[in-house]
Structure 1
């Protein structure tokens, strides 16, 4: 079995749990909401881009991984990116608008993470060898780090990605 440090399924799950933690912080009026949003934006954009560049194309090659699930995940990334941009554009983190846009983002991301975990990640766990999951994990981690280093969570980059319709 690959270690949890390199198994692509575990790395993706770890990011999903981190996003949930950041949502809790962003919902807390006492917390540094803007700081948490900045961290969340970088994580979401890096995570999605790395999945689409390194993980999804590989999963499409497995006959027991549903191509429609992969396509659906890509579509949901776009929805999450649009919801992220809407929240990044709200200047007052204490406003009603912030609360509304945050809940739209939470809904989009949690829906996607839940579906991805039940479909693609379960399929990958069952159908992709431990060795291949470790290789994909390394590719995912490298792509994710490159995105983070390129300031992928900046509002300018999120705008560009949303405008282009893909990560």
Structure 2
């Protein structure tokens, strides 16, 4: 979170952090209570990352990248799939077989999404945006992650202006709940 640099460097660093969390959860034995803590960690990061991308990255892709509407729509669809899985994971107990199945599905979906963004979307964006535009987007992404929700909200809007209006309020409520429950520490 908040690594500095242009939008691509920022998001790729997020990707590496999430992959490290995936490695940590895979290394823990089934039913280990620490698996829930790691799942909460990657849920927090994935939700904040996704909301920030939906607020700023995908509108920039729509504006600057040829065929950007189709690319952004596909990415938002991927986010919706993962967000539903994360919501189900949030409700699951680490002792349930469903927990491990959901973790595996999240890892599979997110890994494919990361690979696609890094192979296709990021190079396309870098090819049409100036360094200044990419740095500005990086600043916007970092700011958005600070106020973004930390819990999945599958029914929330995923495009501007709705997401820009509602995400900070949901984020405030989520962070208050996290503080009270100790989630994500």
Q: Same fold (TM over 0.5)?
A: yes
Which residue of 1 is the match for residue 167 of structure 2?
Answer: none
The within-5 A match list for 1:1-167 is 5-27=4-26, 28-29=28-29, 32-64=34-66, 66-91=68-93, 93-147=94-148, 152-154=149-151, 158=152, 161-164=153-156, 166=158
**Which stretches in structure 2 are left out of the alignment for 5+ residues?**
164-185
Distance 1:31 1:134, change over 3 A: farther
1:80 positional shift: 0.6
Contact conserved, 1:45 with 1:153, CA < 8 A, in 2?
yes
1:145 positional shift: 1.0
1:44 positional shift: 0.7
Contact conserved, 2:6 with 2:138, CA < 8 A, in 1?
yes
Which whole-Å CA distance do the structure 2 matches of 1:37 and 1:104 have between them?
12
Which whole-Å CA distance do the structure 2 matches of 1:146 and 1:97 have between them?
31
Q: Which runs of 4+ in 1 moved over 6 A?
A: none
> May I ask how many residue pairs the two structures share in their alignment?
154
Contact conserved, 1:65 with 1:123, CA < 8 A, in 2?
no
Contact conserved, 1:38 with 1:153, CA < 8 A, in 2?
no
**Which stretches in structure 1 are left out of the alignment for 5+ residues?**
none
Which whole-Å CA distance do the structure 1 matches of 2:133 and 2:35 have between them?
38
Q: Which structure exhibits the higher relative contact order, with contacts defined as CA atoms closer than 8 Å and separated by 6 or more residues?
A: 1
1:65 positional shift: 5.6
